[in-house]
Amino acid sequence: MSERFQLPIPMWRVHFQLLGGGRRFLSVAVICTALLVVGTFGFRRMLASDSFPRVAGFVLNFLTAIQLLIVLLGGSNALHRAMLRDYDTKMIESHRLTPMSSMAVVLGYLFGATLQVLMLFTLFLTFGVGLSVMAGLPVLDWLLGNVVLLCAGIASWAVIVFGGMRVEKPFNPAPVVVAVCALSFPISFVPSMALLLNVYTGLIAVQLLVGSGTITFVVAAIPSIVSLLFAVFWINVASVKYRRPDLPALNAFRGVALLTLFLLVGSGGLLAFEKYAQKGMSFVYDSELVRLQWITTIISALIMASIITCGAVKCRLLVSQGTAARDWSDRVSDRVVAIVAAILLCGILGGVGYPVWRTLLPPATSDAETIAMAIRIGAYTSLACVIGILTVRGMFDFVQARAKSANITVALLMIALWSIPPAADFIRGEFVRGPRDPAGYSWLLGCSPLGAIKGAWSEPYVNLLPGIIVQFVILLSIGSMTRRNRIPFEPPKV
């Protein structure tokens, strides 16, 4: 039975007091305002030869950097400290005994632990508006940029709250946030990952805040809406995980829902990127970039499908050991989840991404030849995805009952299994090719799902069938080994 919605006012009040209460909030606001005013006038005196609008522009650029640090790094750190404190003091267990709904607890963390961050964000936003009005600078760009930045921040905070709702100690998200920010430019060339990690939203917010480029309202609104859509999803799964941390939140239903959302926004974002790149980024736009984006999108979707399949496997193992299921979705067969995930991956990318992949087909002399090439490439891609997902499923089923950290163990095993064949083929190609000849591929490339996907969409043509057969043999071997050596699975202690 679903819980009724409650306003998390009690948790907000508790977090407000833990952060120092009204006196501390007022002191921080007064001190920050004084520093902003004194700093602006001091900066104006230092650059007396420049006009006030120019000085105001420099100050706004400085405030942009501060806003980014406050929202992304400050908000992440505030959430981590709050959830770590409740984990150490067992307060999270006390919350579960209260009549507060799970959604109220999640929203209590999301907007309670970040109250001081939101206060500082609002303070700097207001100061920037006043400075823009005094200097005659565009106020709308500053306002819209801050709104877009807040959308990216809320989506990131929701992921952190979801990650903190666990039996184990919450991990520090700061290194991940710093890594995503540092790699934002290369990630921006992969729309599926850029939308999932809110990279587009953050980059658009920065462009609006510093006044560089011409960002229309529609261009700013679409990534912001996608970020809020992901935020709603992560809030929902966090509330599910809060109530039952012993079961994976990304089970059959929610995992497939995440994969579907990821595929839709990823393929749609790829179409939008190609359209934008042809107009505004023609200096970097070429067919090889499109090919690399397409292959990377398929591989990222394959990894996502493998993750949700592992969640379904763990649900099945826990329920089979007597753990009470939340609903019917915890009892869905993980084989069905794996097959459905593969169908969604190939169907959505093949359908929505048709305008992209049709341009990547090799030149043909007739329509029949084009159709034959499309069928061949589609068949190799589909087989690689299906076998890859089922292999991860079998490996996780085998490792889960034998290793304490099954997720890390399976990840390392699959990285080795998927990367060794392409690496070996690359080394072989370097040894046999001539000094001026390009590197060539062989059937070894097809022994890995990643290599098979790359080989299917690359030129010249490579016979991937022997490699696909090797993958199938590995899948059968893992399945046979799992059935012969199945041992009882002990559910984790809560």
Return mean pLDDT, the chain: 87
Which ranges of the chain have pLDDT less than 50? 1, 494
Q: What is the pLDDT of residue 1?
A: 45
Cis peptide upstream of residue 460 (ω within 30 degrees of 0): yes
Dist. CA 336–CA 342, nearest whole Å: 10
* Joined tokens for residue 76: 């992440």
Taking the alpha carbons at both ends of the chain, their separation in whole angstroms is 22
Distance of alpha carbon 94 from alpha carbon 60, whole angstroms: 44
In this prediction the pTM is 0.90
CA dist list (Å): 125 to 36, 215, 472: 12, 19, 57
| Dihedral sign from CA coordinates of 108, 111, 117, 119 | negative
CB 275 within 8 A of CB 293: no
Burial class of 280 by CB neighbour count within 10 A (0 to 12, 13 to 18, 19+): exposed
Tokens of 420: 């060794």
